[in-house]
């Protein structure tokens, strides 16, 4: 069980939105984790510097929160075996590349622009995720 946190979740969501608006206002870029990361893989994109800075910030913020407020400030629970993390990671990487985006790029930035491609992608990955969770938890009985 995880606690229902509507206020913190809404607040965190508005921060994600704020970051997306800032990146569009200043750099003219979609705040999609897939697209930003892809430009940092070889062959390195010419505009790698702002991408690297965004990633450093994205990793740095939770590290800062934990440093200031303690480890218990941010809940993180996973008991996933490494083998499944590798398999899931490969599937996610493969999928988001062909889909040209993930939850941040399609689910937030794309939906906010009312992009039909992003709507199709978001409906598809949300449904596939829900079906997978159902299968893993209620058919297989967990991993």
Residues 54-113 that bind other proteins (CB under 8 A): 54-66, 74-78, 80, 82, 84-100, 102-104, 106-113
CB of 27 to other proteins, least distance (A): 6
- For residue 47, the 8-state DSSP code is T
CB of 67 to other proteins, least distance (A): 10
17 binds other proteins (CB under 8 A): yes
Selection from 77, 100, 91, 104 nearest residue 21 by Cα: 104
In sequence order, the 6+-apart residues with CB closer than 8 A to the CB of 75 are 2
CB of 51 to other proteins, least distance (A): 7
Cα(14)–Cα(4) distance, integer angstroms:
17
Identify the residue among 5, 45, 70, 141 touching other proteins (CB under 8 A): 5
48 binds other proteins (CB under 8 A): no
Q: Which of residues 21-40 bind other proteins (CB under 8 A)?
A: 21-34, 37-38
109 and 32 in contact (C-beta within 8 Å)?
yes
């Amino acid at each position: 069980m995880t606690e229902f946190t509507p206020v913190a979740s809404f607040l965190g969501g508005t921060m994600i939105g704020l970051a997306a608006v800032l990146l569009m206002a200043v750099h003219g870029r979609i705040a999609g984790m897939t697209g930003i990361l892809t430009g940092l893989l070889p062959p390195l994109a010419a505009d790698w510097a702002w991408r690297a800075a965004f990633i450093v910030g994205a990793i740095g913020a939770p590290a800062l929160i934990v440093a200031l407020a303690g480890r218990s400030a941010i809940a993180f629970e996973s008991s996933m075996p490494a083998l499944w993390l590798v398999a899931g990671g490969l599937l996610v990487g493969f999928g988001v590349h062909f889909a040209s985006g993930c939850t941040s790029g399609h689910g937030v930035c794309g939906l906010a622009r009312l992009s039909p491609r992003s709507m199709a992608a978001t409906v598809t990955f949300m449904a596939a995720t829900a079906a997978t969770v159902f299968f893993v938890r209620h058919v297989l009985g967990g991993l």
